[in-house]
Chain A
Amino acid sequence: MKKRIFSLLLALALLLAGCNLLPDAGARPRELSESSIWAMDTQMDLRLYGDTDGTVMTELTATLNRLDRTLSATAADSALTALNESGWTDDKDIVYLAANARRISEQTAGALDITLLPVSRLWGFPTDSCGVPAAGELEALRDNVGMDKLTLTDESVSVPAGTKLDFGALAKGYAADLCRARMEEAGVSGILALGGNIQTVGTKPDGSDWIIGVQDPNDTGRYILTLRLSGAKAVVSSGDYQRYFMQDGVRYCHILDPETLAPVRGSLRSVTVVAEEGLLADGLSTALYVLGREAGTELWRQRGDFEALWIEDDGSVWVTPGLKDRVAEGDFRVIEP
């Protein structure tokens, strides 16, 4: 009996030794290349494995810079600004994004709305001159707001005068999709941090999972738990802790509720979505934050094409069952299927 215990312990010890001491055994060496750029109002960090001649990195950088120039709502010479001034565009990126914005909006009971730019400006978020506007001023904008203001064809987008679009809730997810497609085509793996959005592609050189920390809304210098993910995954968070202002003791976050035209209020601090498609993960994270945890979990039950993680103001963390075994570190509760 004792011999069996010794044998078992020895076998376990050898197994663990193998895990630790020979992590790269059998793995093909893949060259690491890293780059950082500033685009879409945020820092983007690209880490690629196997991009031997740097071609893919160059192409990804060009793609991100192109989208930055196209989708900026503040740059005077962007295609989006041209649409917001003229009311029409045939820019392919914008047509694609607008069609997908409508798709996600329809699937989330209107919780995603890309026509809220004038409202956001009235609250002062784009210019960091924040304050609570008068109710009358907000209501005056209501006629210009709503996804029904978009007229879409296969090749163009048009909006009436006064309606302005902003793809802030989708652009980085879309960028991640384009980058991932190019990387997969070239056989390059890696991880992209597009601002706070994470996109994993392929596997790490040693074959282990990607380890992704989820930022703690109550202490943004820390992460509240970590997720172990494999393959191509988009991970996107929306919350009240990145861009907000305080007035009279009330926190006003930059995510606006299309119904009230005011910052979302409630007990939810953040939502993180994990999905195959970056654009979907990006759009859903905003929509789920607007909807709140109860309506969000109901949406998850209906769809089943994403996983999510909610962090409440009491510090509790709720995860969908698909993430249950992916949490490598941290406490959480599991949503009922």
Chain B
Amino acid sequence: MKTRYWALLLGAVFLVLAGLTARQFFGVKPAAQAQVWADGELVRTLDLSEDGEYRIESAEGWNIVTVSGGRAAVTAASCPDGDCVRCGQKNANPPIVCLPNRVSVQFSDSGDLDGVVR
């Protein structure tokens, strides 16, 4: 009985640590904040736990960044292609990028990615 107890305990410890390790290498955790950049300048840091709507102006145009339910999205923009709007709601990198307006929304503390090639 004692042996089985120890086996279960060790097994549980192993699984928890294996899970943590897998998380370290593979996982992506949601970001707590998002940084909004315009024309190469950090213009706003958003707390993703607070819902809100923000108009971001750049030299080329404007984007509306909406925070809701712990996620950020570009919900409207003056750019011609609308790629940034189609990215949808996000809480982890890769960043939302609006090339025509030179605006991007990047997520801090979003897991273990060092960069995204695109």
Contacts and interface: CB of A to CB of B under 8 A. Distances in A.
Nearest to A216: B94
A20 B102 contact: no
Given A16-B17, A20-B24, A220-B87, A212 B118 contact: no
Contacts of B10: 6, 9-10, 13
Interface string B79-93: 011010011101001
Contacts of B90: 221
Interface in B68-109: 80-81, 83, 86-88, 90, 93-94, 96-97, 99-100, 102, 104, 106
B117 A196 contact: yes
Contacts of A236: 117
A221 B94 contact: yes
Contact of A213 (B25, B40, B100, B115): B115
B96 A210 contact: no
Q: How large is the interface on B (under 10, 10 to 19, 20 to 34, 35 or more residues)?
A: 35 or more
Contact of B83 (A6, A16, A43, A220): A220
Contacts of B14: 9, 12-13, 16
Contacts of A295: none
Contacts of B3: 2
Interface string B11-26: 1011001101100111
Given A36-B37, A191-B114, A213-B115, A16 B11 contact: no
Contacts of A220: 83, 86-87, 94, 118
Contacts of B94: 213, 215, 220-223
A38 B11 CA distance: 51
Q: How large is the interface on A (under 10, 10 to 19, 20 to 34, 35 or more residues)?
A: 35 or more
Interface in B1-57: 3, 6-7, 10-11, 13-14, 17-18, 20-21, 24-26, 37, 39-42
B39 A213 contact: no
Nearest to B90: A221
For chain A, what secondary structure do more than half of its interface residues adopt (helix, strand, loop), or is it mixed?
A: strand
A44 B114 CA distance: 14
Given A36-B42, A221-B94, A223-B94, A212 B18 contact: no
Contacts of A10: 10
A266 B96 CA distance: 27
A212 B21 contact: no
Contact of B26 (A13, A45, A191, A329): A329
Given A9-B10, A20-B17, A221 B118 contact: no
Interface in A40-57: 41-45, 47
A267 interface: no
Interface string A201-216: 0001000001111110
Contacts of B96: 221
A73 to B, nearest CB: 16
A44 B106 CA distance: 12
B5 to A, nearest CB: 12
A333 interface: no
B117 A215 contact: yes
Given A16-B20, A215-B94, A328-B25, A198 B100 contact: no
14 contacts: A9-B14, A43-B40, A43-B102, A45-B106, A128-B80, A191-B114, A200-B115, A211-B112, A212-B113, A213-B93, A213-B94, A213-B113, A215-B94, A220-B83
Given A13-B14, A198-B115, A221-B88, 19 more contacts: A6-B7, A12-B14, A16-B20, A19-B21, A19-B24, A20-B24, A41-B99, A42-B99, A43-B97, A128-B80, A211-B112, A214-B117, A215-B117, A215-B118, A221-B90, A221-B96, A228-B25, A237-B117, A328-B25
